[in-house]
Amino acid sequence: MVKRRFIVSHCSSIVFFFALSACSSTTSQTANPIKNQTTPAEIIDNTLSPFQFNQGLQQDLNNNNSAGLQSKIDVLSIAKQLRNIQSTQFSNPLVTAKTAADLKQQLVSGMLELSTSFTWRYLHSEEKADNKLAAYYRIESEGGYSYVTFWLEQDSYKIYDFHPVSFYYSALDFVGEFTQLFSKYSHKQGQLSNLILAIQKNQWDKTISLYQAIDADIKAEPALNDFLLRKYSQMQGDNPQFTNVLMSAFEQQGLSSLLFESLYIQQDNFNQAIKMVEGLPQYARQDSKMLSELAILHAYNQDFRSAILFGRQSIMAGPNENEAYIVLLQVSLLAKDYALSIELMDVLSSKFNFLMGQGVIAELDESDTFLHSDEYKLWLEKHSTNKS
């Protein structure tokens, strides 16, 4: 029986705070000035490298340092980016300032909430156009892994945006795109308004009915789909019918989200689970953890050639991570490539001081046949001789 011990489940709680229920308003109303809601941006030492800055940010995240995070997220930078995204929507300085201040507080609160359950790991940074810097992070817990991108201004390292990989849009892009839906579909506002209202009230039976009946062009809108994902993430699987409807709609539109991977695994639908991982941005797909994920998924899908290839790539990406070797060992047992199994057991023993006894190996899927194989008997005889 296949136990699937090594499939990595991913963190649906990454999406906690980005439902942004207030975003359905599209009018440029006058707002009251915000007082005492923001912290002056930290003065960044210009001699810092991106690595040094992100090491400090990683420390603040893992230590739940609210003051440190507040100082690194700049309201003025957020406001500037909002105006760049939607100049018409955010032409009113007071509306823009309020939205930017609210976004900052949501970002800080969400990061602190994540930090209570997950460990942040800075991966690397990448310079982008328009004086922007993308800082890539992995978050991890006993339950699995996910990834987020911080967007920083390249010259000052001021944080202005945050993008969990499960969503199509970053926080700011989502605000900009979602607020345009009603003006874009002004002739169909009834359909859209009723659907959004039902979602905001958590009326899921009504939501399903309205969503299935909505015109195809609205249903295909990335901003609407992203909004549905953000609301779905807060439900934590409370409504299986809505989950099935949303997954089916995403399949029909050729869309993917890491939020769905574990559900496809439960259904033994490994082709779709693989597509969810393949839909990740390149930096996440190239991380050792996701390469291992692809290795085990391909192995359970009986594509052992691809599984071993991804397993070896995972080791190359993280040569000092024992998990990569263990996952490839599991793949080798499923593939019945016992020569590779022996090779990996020797590495785990010599490099990581693992005691590769029968009890340890028996915990792996499809280990019984291997434990009775000639290859294992020879390995056991060799190691018994060495000990004597």
What is the per-residue pLDDT across 102-125, written as a single tens digit (0 to 9) for each?
A: 999 999 998 998 899 899 999 999
Q: Helix crossing, 93-115 with 50-62: angle to 10°?
A: 70
Round to whole Å and give the CA distance between 293 and 7: 6
Query: Can you give the pLDDT at residue 7?
Result: 52
Assign 320 to helix, strand or coil: coil
Counting residues of the chain whose pLDDT is more than 70, the rounded percentage is 86
- CA-wise closest residue to 151 among 221, 82, 248: 82
Distance CA 138, CA 233 (A): 19
> What whole-number distance in Å separates Cα of residue 248 and Cα of residue 244?
6
Instruction: Give the model confidence (pLDDT) of 46-86 as tens digits.
Output: 568 999 999 999 999 999 999 999 999 999 999 999 999 88
303 vs 299: CA distance, rounded Å: 5
- Look up residue 366 and give its two tokens: 């499809």
| DSSP code of residue 71 | H
Of how many residues is the chain composed?
388
- Distance between CA atoms of 296 and 306, rounded to whole angstroms? 10
Positions in the chain short of pLDDT 70: 1-47, 236-237, 386-388
Across all residues in the chain, what is the average pLDDT?
A: 87
Q: What is the pLDDT of residue 46?
A: 56
Edge to edge, the sheet with strand 119-128 lists: 119-128, 132-141, 144-153, 159-164
